Amino acid sequence: MKTTTLLVALLALAFTTHAAKPPNIVFIMADDLGWTDLAVQGSKYYETPNIDRLAAQGTRLMSHHHCQSCQPTRAALMSGRYGARTGVYTVGGIGRFEWESRPLRPVDNVTALPLDKITIAQSLKAAGYATGMFGKWHLGEDPQHHPAAGGFDEAIVSMGKHFDFNTKPTTPSAKGTYLADFLTDKAEDFIRRHKDDPFFLYLPHFGVHSPHQAKAELTEHFTQRAGITTRLTPR
């Protein structure tokens, strides 16, 4: 399924005249999650019971369009446009391509979603939805590109570290808090506060992205499960 088709389907679902009440939408993204990192996809090592349950109770898209890296994927999913349309087609600058040794120079990559691109959050907010985003945005670091300026009523951005992390805006957390737990708690709180109204929750987790860090009990569990020294960094 193409990205544009996915967004159109979500909007059509939200605006259908047959529903007595617009449905709530929870959109969870797992950054850098591999195809075989899920038990439902055949993994014999990783334990993913909650995702497996979602797969069993929902719809799995087994043939669809997506981007191969995170930044253009995010731009496409938020705007419903291909990377060529947003200008975001890779991560960071073009230096990663070593283009100097090639006959053609690629066009400069856009590292922030252009402000003239309408996001799904803006569209849903205009339709009366409460909108919230907690996690990795990666579509512009300056205030004017913060998700709060892109249609989200509430937005807390964090990426780069799983412990001792920073957030935009600055949000207090207890020392030793694991980022995935922090983001999930914020998402659950958003759902509780808006459960009686239509809401759109975007939860782009950072949990399996490098640096590979995990809570001590999980590191120990999977070390024993594998029978080998794990590459995860214990805390």
DSSP 223: H
CA distances from 53 to 26, 165, 185 (A): 15, 30, 20
Closest to 26 in 3D by CA, of 207, 141, 214, 192: 192
**Residue 70 annotated to the active site:** yes
Tokens of 109: 């990559």
- Token pair 């999650």: residue: 33
Residue tagged active-site, from 138, 194, 205, 209 = 138
Residue tagged active-site, from 64, 67, 70, 209 = 70
The answer to whether 86 and 126 have CB atoms below 8 angstroms apart is: no
Angle between helix 3-15 and helix 70-79 axes, rounded to 10 deg = 40
The answer to whether 134 and 169 have CB atoms below 8 angstroms apart is: no
Q: What is the DSSP string of 153-191?
A: SEEEE--S-SSS---BS-----TT--HHHHHHHHHHHHH
- Token pair 């300056």: residue: 142
Q: Which residues contact 199 (CB under 8 A, 6 or more apart)?
A: 24, 25, 129, 130, 131, 132, 190, 191
Active site residues: 70, 138
